[in-house]
Structure 1
Amino acid sequence: MLKVGDRLPAGKLSEYIEVEGNGCSLGPNTFDIAELTKGKTIALFALPGAFTPTCSAQHVPGYVKQAPALRAAGVDEIWCVSVNDAFVMGAWGREQKTQGAVCMMADGSGTFTQATGLTLDLVAAGLGLRSQRYSALVVDGVVRTLNVEAPGKFEVSDADTMLKQAREVLAR
């Protein structure tokens, strides 16, 4: 299982790009995790699924609201990672008004999530293998903080906790 001090697993994540530019075409674009994190500080939060109650009502809105403060603390990018395809993540991002604040990163086949060891088996509920709810502050590809929620909880992976940790870790 992923832990503080580990490098994020190698692999790819996808993001649905709404506007062409910066070498990205309109639609789903796939990015290499190692390349995308190189030299950057990322506030990454992962959740069980797009359009789900806690994720839509609390998790994503908290990071959208705190995006300016996280950037002021030294965070370059904020990623929301979910085991959904890029089209679903793009639609959810539009609904949540994340543009310019949070990158909605799709782990469509769950390969990144499986590589982290932070999977959540929701097969019995008809949702398949998903991600546990967690957050991590990642500096140059290395996990500096990791906050994994207990099943059914939303207490430690929120944006306020991440902001506090970013201020502490990045002030050093």
Structure 2
Amino acid sequence: MSIAIGDQLPDVNIFEYVAEGDETEGIKVWRLPDLVYKKKVLIVGLIGVFTPVCTNSHIPGYVEAYDHFHRAGIDEIWCISVNDPFVMAAFARDTGCGDKIRMLSDGSGELADHMGMTLDLSDRGMGVRSDRFAMIADNGLVVDLLREDPGCFCYTDASTMLERLEGVLQQN
């Protein structure tokens, strides 16, 4: 069963490569409910980092729109993918995310599996991945969710989510 609007995010661990200044702190393990506690978070799910759409279109749109999301009440923007924390950190550097987008690893696909959002790309050499999605979670409750059809990048872009965010805020 897939996660839906009105559902709580699952209680799973996600991973993040954290570096402070010149001293690398390493991989941090976070419980998802702890990370979303008392926050309004925009979560962008990618099929895989360094793929053409994700690198050239999906994430750059969110980097450019960061200030708009922040002014609209989003506390943090997260990018989650079935990649390891080191790859997520490299992707953040290469896409110029800085402190605008938090790169989180669902390395084993546990989150994608719990949300019913797995995509099997084994025939393309990529294994089981996450579907491409965008969601808004408020204190862990899913208040908006868009999920792309396989192979599409049609409506999980930053401009669509900004429009939807305004609608969600008007309803609450």
CA–CA distance in structure 1, aligned partners of residues 72 and 151 of structure 2: 29
Q: How far did 1:39 drift?
A: 0.8
CA–CA distance in structure 2, aligned partners of residues 121 and 4 of structure 1: 24
CA–CA distance in structure 1, aligned partners of residues 54 and 43 of structure 2: 14
User: Could you say which residue in structure 2 is the equivalent of 1:122?
Assistant: 121
**Secondary structure, aligned partner of 2:128:** strand
Q: Give structure 1 regions of 4+ aligned residues with deviation exceeding 3 angstroms.
A: none
User: Could you say which residue in structure 2 is the equivalent of 1:79?
Assistant: 78
User: Could you say which residue in structure 2 is the equivalent of 1:150?
Assistant: 149
CA–CA distance in structure 2, aligned partners of residues 10 and 156 of structure 1: 27
- Describe how 1:14-25 pairs up with structure 2 within 5 A: 14-19=15-20
Q: Which moved more, 1:161-170 or 1:132-141?
A: 161-170
State yes or no: 1:136 paired with 2:135.
yes
Gaps of at least 5 residues in structure 1 are none
Per-residue CA shift, 1:114-160, capped at 9, x if unaligned?
10000100011111000000100111101111101111111111111
CA–CA distance in structure 2, aligned partners of residues 165 and 18 of structure 1: 33
Amino acid at match of 2:98: Q
Q: How far did 1:27 drift?
A: 2.0
CA–CA distance in structure 2, aligned partners of residues 111 and 151 of structure 1: 19
CA–CA distance in structure 2, aligned partners of residues 164 and 66 of structure 1: 12
Q: How far did 1:30 drift?
A: 1.3
Q: How far did 1:168 drift?
A: 2.0
**Secondary structure, aligned partner of 1:18:** strand
User: Could you say which residue in structure 2 is the equivalent of 1:11?
Assistant: 12
CA–CA distance in structure 2, aligned partners of residues 127 and 155 of structure 1: 22
User: Could you say which residue in structure 2 is the equivalent of 1:2?
Assistant: 3
Amino acid at match of 1:137: I
Per-residue CA shift, 1:82-124, capped at 9, x if unaligned?
0000000000100011121000110011111110000100011
User: Could you say which residue in structure 2 is the equivalent of 1:95?
Assistant: 94
Identity %: 39
**Secondary structure, aligned partner of 1:26:** strand
Gaps of at least 5 residues in structure 2 are none
CA–CA distance in structure 2, aligned partners of residues 170 and 101 of structure 1: 21
CA–CA distance in structure 2, aligned partners of residues 109 and 151 of structure 1: 20
CA–CA distance in structure 1, aligned partners of residues 48 and 80 of structure 2: 9
Q: Which moved more, 1:154-163 or 1:78-87?
A: 154-163
CA–CA distance in structure 2, aligned partners of residues 6 and 64 of structure 1: 27
Q: CA RMSD in A?
A: 1.6
User: Structure 2-normalised TM-score?
Assistant: 0.94
- Matched length: 170
Amino acid at match of 1:115: H
CA–CA distance in structure 2, aligned partners of residues 68 and 89 of structure 1: 22
CA–CA distance in structure 1, aligned partners of residues 49 and 27 of structure 2: 16
CA–CA distance in structure 2, aligned partners of residues 15 and 98 of structure 1: 14
